[in-house]
Structure 1
């Protein structure tokens, strides 16, 4: 049996990341992977990036990592309210202002995809990791998406399991031949009602893969307070507290 942990979308939330890493450590899971979006929306973008570097956790390039690494302009999204659009511009500018050159370089060199192959007995399991999809790190694929979309991704990547993040909403979808499409949710900016830090454990044996979504409490009030004390808009503190802000 092999266990691996996959997490995504930390978004500068160091207390949430610490809680997830501590839980993974307590479970004795040595294989850890991050699907990206280390920065934006909470004030520890540098500290989160440095922790991923220091722990040598393989990490993909999320869309926010790419934007900060290459100074890509921010464009408004039609799904966002005027309030969220303004807050988003300010928060991303905050990251661009404070990211260190060494962390910016690290983000610029992250891989786009990663495929893992684990051999257990006579069985090889192929696990495809993406931030959001095979062709983009900024595609929104939700649980409600048609099965055909995920089955096509599994076929194109020749994988048994595809794991994604990006939407901040976890899900598990199983198809024929014990294949899965999975979203590990978000560590630092969950859009689920409970706002808990979310990650995925995959348990592999010779016969099957068992996915489990883990959701943890963390010092959310500390994160919200530190957002309010920073130049990041209070919008993101209210979001974490699940107060009356946009869910988009």
Structure 2
């Protein structure tokens, strides 16, 4: 049996990343992929980037990575109230000011998507890895997203399975076949460093592959969240992000 680990949205949270990588090693998984957003909201963005880079983990360019790599303007999000909007601006500007040159260069070279082809029992399964969606690294695809649109994304990208991050909420969703579509799966692996699922857990995905098929499983594990809270409070990152984590404890 072969097993693949896929994770996303570390957001500068080195203790969470180290916990996930240790769990992956303990499971003897040696094929890893990251869906991006290595940066912003916790103070270890350079350390996170260098860890991913030095381990040679294939990684996508998340929307936060793209903004820092190319010094893009901060686009307001309608879902944020004024307090969160101000905190977000301050956190991103902190990243822009403190990103190391080698880390910024690394982010600028990341691809937008990766494609895997899994062969078992004479059957090939095409898996597309993206950050946000097949169309954009800034598009949110939640579990309740319109099924016909997900089916269109699968068909347009000629994929049997699309695996995403970006929303910080994990799910595994089967897309039924229709007369015009073979269907497939849409999976969100959740967030390593800034989960929005209400618990102080780091989330990632494993795919177990054998002659019977591919079995996805969401893994959620605790990490030293209080140490992250303390580090944020001691940094120039707004305390808003420490309070966000406090609410999950």
1:178 is displaced (CA, Å) by 7.5
Give CA deviations for 1:163-211 in whole Å, capped at 9, x if unaligned: 0000000011012367210000000000001131000001122332211
Give CA deviations for 1:196-228 in whole Å, capped at 9, x if unaligned: 100000112233221100001000000110000
Matched residue, 2:134 = 134
CA distance in 1, matches of 2:217, 2:246: 25
Q: Which one is further off, 72-81 or 230-239?
A: 72-81
Partner SS, residue 191 of structure 2: coil
Matched residue, 1:200 = 205
Contact 1:123–1:206 (CA under 8 A) maintained in structure 2:
no
Matched residue, 1:72 = 72
Matched residue, 2:46 = 46
2:191 to 186, 195, 212: 186
Q: Please say if 1:148 is aligned against 2:148.
A: yes
Contact 2:35–2:164 (CA under 8 A) maintained in structure 1:
yes
1:21 is displaced (CA, Å) by 0.4
Q: Which one is further off, 67-76 or 34-43?
A: 67-76
TM-score by length of 2: 0.95
Matched residue, 2:227 = 222
Give CA deviations for 1:65-124 in whole Å, capped at 9, x if unaligned: 000000001122111011100100110011011111111010000000110012223121
Matched residue, 2:9 = 9
Contact 1:178–1:209 (CA under 8 A) maintained in structure 2:
no
CA distance in 2, matches of 1:205, 1:75: 44
CA distance in 2, matches of 1:64, 1:107: 10
Matched residue, 1:235 = 240
Partner SS, residue 156 of structure 2: helix
TM-score by length of 1: 0.95
Task: Number of aligned residue pairs: give it.
Answer: 243
Q: Which runs of 5+ in 1 are unaligned?
A: 244-248
Q: Which runs of 5+ in 2 are unaligned?
A: 177-181
Matched residue, 2:95 = 95
